[in-house]
């Protein structure tokens, strides 16, 4: 009986030590003491490592990732909105997508050490998943939001993710010009490409233009804007998406 109790106590202490280490890791990453540790455990659990609960439900970080993605987008949107009071929404959207994208989040996830705590099962497709750490990072944002509320989560995003790991000046200078991307692609692929203004609405001083992209004389996309250049950029961006040109 005593040896049985001793074994139970040993297992319990071992589990406790493990939890403490995990809580410390989370505190190191987020800068905040976690309250509901289960949320964070879920955040670092990839689908491939999901275990069934008593109800037969397999829980992984995918739902938290969905939530965290939305919170992250909102916090970065507000940050850029306030940082650049004279930039238009096209600029803000573009800069946000350069910060928050699969590749950059995956890199960042590794950088902040998620690769040390994310659980996955290589045999179940876990290690072939390209954005394992980016997804876990979004899930972590979701966990912090649920555990500590919006303000604390925003603080985590801004002071632990954005400010230390992104050089905004560099991001902005690395200017993406969709029209030139498209033209380069067309030259490489020996395709004929045209940009045509197909519609103009409004008075002389404030017209809205609609541009169309034609590849091999086939209309691919249209875009609108309050200048010909903006309309062409919008159309070119869509064409790049549709034809999956990067």
- HEC states along the chain? CHHHHHHHHHHHHHHHHHHHHHHHHHHHHHCCCCCCHHHHHHHCECHHHCCECCCCCECCCHHHHHHHHHHHHHHHHHHHHHHCCCCCHHHHHHHHHHHCCHHHHHHHHHHCCHHHHCECCHHHCHHHCCCHHHHHHHHHHHHHHHHHCHHHHHHHHHHHHHHHHCCHHHHHHCCCCHHHHHHHHHHHCCCCEEEEEEEEEEECCEEEEEEEEEECCEEEEEEEECCHHHHHHHHHHHHHHHCCCC
Size of the site for its own copies (CB under 8 A): 42
Nearest CA-CA partner of 209 in 193, 223, 195, 192: 223
Does residue 201 belong to the site contacting its own copies (CB under 8 A)? yes
Select the span of 25-33, 119-127, 173-181, 187-195 touching its own copies (CB under 8 A). 119-127
Binders of its own copies among residues 122 to 181 (CB under 8 A) are 123-125, 128-129, 142, 145, 150-151
CB count within 10 Å of CB 214 equals 17
CB of 29 to its own copies, least distance (A): 21
Binders of its own copies among residues 81 to 110 (CB under 8 A) are 81, 86-89, 92-93
Does residue 73 belong to the site contacting its own copies (CB under 8 A)? yes
The reply to whether 200 sits in an annotated binding site is: no
Binders of its own copies among residues 39 to 58 (CB under 8 A) are 47-48, 57
* Residue 147 annotated among the catalytic residues of the structure: no
User: Considering beta carbons, is residue 54 or 206 the nearer one to its own copies?
Assistant: 206
* Residue 237 annotated among the catalytic residues of the structure: no
The reply to whether 65 sits in an annotated binding site is: yes
Select the span of 18-26, 109-117, 163-171, 203-211 touching its own copies (CB under 8 A). 203-211
- Catalytic hit among 69, 147, 232, 237: 69
Q: Which spans of this chain sit near its own copies (rule: CB under 8 A)?
A: 47-48, 57, 62-63, 65-67, 69-71, 73-74, 76-78, 81, 86-89, 92-93, 121, 123-125, 128-129, 142, 145, 150-151, 201-203, 205-208, 226, 242
The set of catalytic residues is 69, 138
Binding-site annotation: residue ranges for Mg(2+): 65, 135, 138
């Amino acid at each position: 009986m005593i040896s049985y109790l001793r074994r139970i106590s040993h297992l319990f202490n071992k589990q406790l030590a493990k939890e403490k280490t995990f809580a410390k890791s989370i505190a190191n990453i987020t800068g905040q003491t976690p309250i509901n540790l289960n949320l964070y455990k879920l955040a670092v659990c990839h689908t491939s490592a999901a275990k069934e609960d008593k109800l037969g439900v397999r829980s992984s970080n995918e739902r938290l990732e969905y939530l965290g993605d939305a919170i992250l987008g909102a916090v970065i949107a507000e940050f850029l909105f306030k940082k650049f009071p004279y930039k238009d929404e096209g600029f803000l959207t573009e800069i946000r997508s350069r910060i928050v994208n699969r590749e950059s989040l995956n890199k960042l996830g590794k950088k902040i050490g998620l690769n040390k705590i994310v659980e996955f099962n290589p045999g179940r497709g876990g290690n072939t998943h390209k954005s394992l750490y980016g997804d876990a990072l979004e899930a972590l944002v979701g966990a912090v939001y649920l555990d500590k509320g919006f303000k604390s989560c925003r603080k985590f995003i801004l002071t632990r993710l954005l400010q230390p790991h992104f050089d905004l000046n560099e991001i902005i200078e690395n200017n993406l010009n969709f029209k030139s991307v498209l033209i380069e692609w067309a030259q490489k692929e020996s395709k004929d490409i045209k940009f045509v203004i197909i519609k103009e609405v409004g008075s002389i001083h404030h017209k809205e233009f609609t541009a169309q992209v034609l590849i091999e004389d086939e209309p691919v996309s249209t875009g609108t804007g309050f200048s010909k250049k903006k309309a062409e950029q919008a159309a070119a961006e869509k064409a790049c998406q549709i034809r999956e040109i990067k």
